[in-house]
Amino acid sequence: MTETMAGRQTLGRTAQGLQPTIWLMLALAVGMGAAAVTLAPGPVRLALAGGAGTLACLAILVKLLGRRHGRGDGGVLRVSDLIAHDASPGFATDGDGRILYHNGSAQTRFGDCDGQKLGRALGRVLANPAAVLYRLQTRAAAQGSAREEVDTGRGRMQLSVHRLPAGGFLWRLDEVGEREAEAVAGGQPGLPMLTVSKSGTILFMNDALRRLVGGRPRSLDAVFPYLPLRTGEETEITGADGPLRCIVAEVEGAGGRREVYLLPAGEGGTQPTAARADFESLPLALARLTPDGRLVQANRFAREILDLAPLGPLPDLRLAELLEGPGRPVEDWLADAMSGLAEKRPQVLRLRKADPEAFLQVTLRRVAEDGRPGLLAVFHDATELKSLEAQIIQSQKMQAIGQLAGGVAHDFNNLLTAISGHCDLLLLRHDRGDPDYADLVQVHQNTNRAASLVRQLLAFSRKQTLEPEVFDLRDTLAELTHLLGRLVGEKIVLSLHHDPDLSTVRADRRQIEQVIMNLVVNARDAMPEGGEIRIETENRTLRRPLCRDRAVVPPGNYVVVSVSDQGVGIPPERADKVFEPFFTTKRMGEGTGLGLSTAYGIVKQTGGFIFFDSTPGAGTVFTIYLPACAATPEPAVASSAGQGGTVASAGQEAEGVVLLVEDEAPVRAFAARALRLQGHKVLEVDTAEDALEMLRDPTLHVDVFLSDVIMPGMDGPSWVREALKDRPSARVIFMSGYAEEALATGRTAVPNAVFLPKPFSLSQLSQTVQRQLQLTAVEAG
């Protein structure tokens, strides 16, 4: 005790010598601080008034004292004399947070706490002082000083800290009261305000707001029924005497905290008459909605587009009852718009009661009226836009399915070629009396059935090989009558009606027969109780383009074939899927779903158009437009080698050298064996590059190039063109699971070439090669 008293006497003498200088500096610093508080704007004014200016003054003095009298414990004691009579609690601590000195205000507030940790002393007012003290001390150690506002059970407190020259820390606690809060708000007395956490818990509420709401609610939604809040927006609060309107001002704070200030709203709670008139006369479809989507007001354009009564009160409806979409509940979209997540992002919704189908593009904007937030909806008719989008999607979908079907068909044709070919080779070694002969015939027949199914896939993808000819549809339908009669059964009457002057068409007769059969079978299945199927043909001339069902039929002369029934009809919701492959309304096992899609593909590849009209419960009419063609003799088709008839020119079969290029080993093995059985010399390679390498030998003679079209690396037409430069007299046969059109797409024709579609039989392959060799002999002779 004696040593401590001696130290204090020494400090007193030292301080006495310094007092004139120190108090002059202190007076100047305080004066500058007061001026700063007076001149600063609202938020800055609070920071200065709350103790930052005083702390800055003390910081200057601490540095001056440290420079003049050195460091150590004496430095702490000198500062203690300066804060001894401060009205705010002050502490001096060491680096570990142990209290070395506290002033009288701290003694009064916290009791005798010398030697204690500062965190323990502040535990009476702060819930978790250790975290706050550690955060502030770390920042002060790095930056020299730090401060932070914290909330206590009694209000808010500003905790400031400054690093001392001797290595300790000077702490100061300032209560932030009503007066300072009013200073932040611009000097308006009694301005209601509160502090809220990130989770919506109210941390502090001043007396003005407590009187306004009649207590101290715990959460923000107990004060504001319409959340979230927005600065500058008029809203409603739950007052002690009923709802009140005010304007909200929010200030972001540290740690996700916000200070919310309430400003008085303008007078008048009803919408002006002029504003209502402008809302009604605007040339836009506008509607006001509550946050949950209930219709409050709609102008005449909105009433018209929403199919509401033009006059009278609005029905009690929500937007979700009028519109559906956009892939999720409408209520969720409205909630996002209220929170600002989906504001001004238009959505296309379907009008529920519209017939025919109608779509609206809806844009939402958050608004506030009479202190209550809501939504302003702007409607635009998007039916045409949606129809165009549906056309593009449907076109892309059909194209994608077509590409998939074509690719699958190509691979299956390679397999079927190998199966059918090797079956033909086995049949050559078995006569009809052989026990295995019947089994081989079954394999061959089922292979042909599989090939027919693949042709249907290719028909839809428009990649099958067509053999067009000019013919009269009346003759074709007359030949089909007996077969069609057996297909429809006894309950159904089949009638044909023809135009006596019907024009001819140019198409693949076999494929057109397939289209008629598919449509008749479809009509039969639509009439389980019986009825009549009418097939009619007529000439029709279009003077202008015919636009319907997303297609445009150009002007010209057409032969129109219609197939009508009296069946159950096609529901409107299924109309878009009628021509899609594998879509069927029949039960499992009763249909493949390829009938109408096959008809669609064949008609499109022929250059025609197919449409349908259907009335549920009354029947369906399918109408086909085929370009009319003059009845001229059809020349013999020299480029197609798929038919298995007799060889055109009589005479003894020629033998030659065939270069076989095929990447599929089973197909190559079958073709090589079949040609060798016919006496030909066969050179086999699996790539185009190997073929060109083999042909570099000038002594090698080749009569026929037999090549696949699609191969890895160089394709068939490319290597053949290269080879024909040195061997122009060689004949060419292209074989492929795709259509012959694949050869001509973006290419010049290959001379001396014919096309052999897969799958082909042994006889078709032999006859095609023989025909090419005979043509070579004719040219040489």
pLDDT at 762 over 80: yes
- Kindly give, in sequence order, each residue whose CB lies less than 8 Å from that of residue 477, ignoring residues fewer than 6 positions away: 496, 498, 516, 535, 537
- For strands 556-564 and 619-629, give the pairing: antiparallel
More confident residue, 176 or 560: 560
CA 310, CA 312: separation in Å to the nearest integer? 7
pLDDT at 742 over 70: no
CA 448, CA 452: separation in Å to the nearest integer? 6
- pLDDT tens-digit profile of 707-718? 998 888 888 899
- pLDDT-based confidence at residue 739 (cuts at 50, 70, 90): low
Question: Quick one: which of 382, 384, 379, 359 has its CA closest to 284?
Answer: 379
Query: 424-441 burial, b if ≥16 CB within 10 A, otherwise e?
Result: bebbeeeeeeeeeeeebe
Taking the model in full, what pTM does it have?
Answer: 0.41
pLDDT at 12 over 90: no
CB atoms within 10 A of CB 775: 17
pLDDT for the residue numbered 172? 87
Token pair recorded at residue 325: 């979409």
pLDDT for the residue numbered 659? 95
Helix axes of 2-39 and 73-83: crossing angle, nearest 10 degrees: 60
Beta bridge partners of 99: 93
pLDDT for the residue numbered 560? 95
pLDDT at 689 over 90: yes
Token pair recorded at residue 327: 């892939």
Asked if residue 538 lies in contact with residue 626, where contact means CB atoms within 8 angstroms, the answer is no
Torsional sign, CA 304, 309, 311, 316: negative
Asked if residue 529 lies in contact with residue 489, where contact means CB atoms within 8 angstroms, the answer is no
More confident residue, 212 or 574: 212
- pLDDT tens-digit profile of 122-171? 887 877 788 888 888 888 888 888 888 776 656 678 888 888 876 788 88
Token pair recorded at residue 151: 């909330």
Token pair recorded at residue 173: 């606690």
How many Å from the N-terminal Cα to the C-terminal Cα in the chain?
Answer: 140
Q: Indicate the average pLDDT of the chain.
A: 76
Residue 78 exposure: Cα atoms within 13 Å on the Cβ side: 29
Beta bridge partners of 513: none
pLDDT at 511 over 90: no
- pLDDT-based confidence at residue 635 (cuts at 50, 70, 90): very low
Which of the listed ranges 41-55, 77-91, 733-747 does the model predict with the highest average pLDDT? 77-91
Asked if residue 524 lies in contact with residue 487, where contact means CB atoms within 8 angstroms, the answer is yes
Rounded percentage of the chain residues whose pLDDT exceeds 90 = 15
Q: Can you tell me whether residue 128 is helix, strand or coil?
A: coil
Beta bridge partners of 194: 205, 260
Among all chains, which residue has been given the structure tokens 């390829």? 594
CA 561, CA 185: separation in Å to the nearest integer? 84
Token pair recorded at residue 274: 């002029």
- pLDDT-based confidence at residue 502 (cuts at 50, 70, 90): very high
- pLDDT tens-digit profile of 259-296? 888 877 655 444 444 445 556 766 778 888 888 888 88
pLDDT for the residue numbered 65? 43
Beta bridge partners of 504: 629
Find the mean pLDDT for residues 478-497.
85
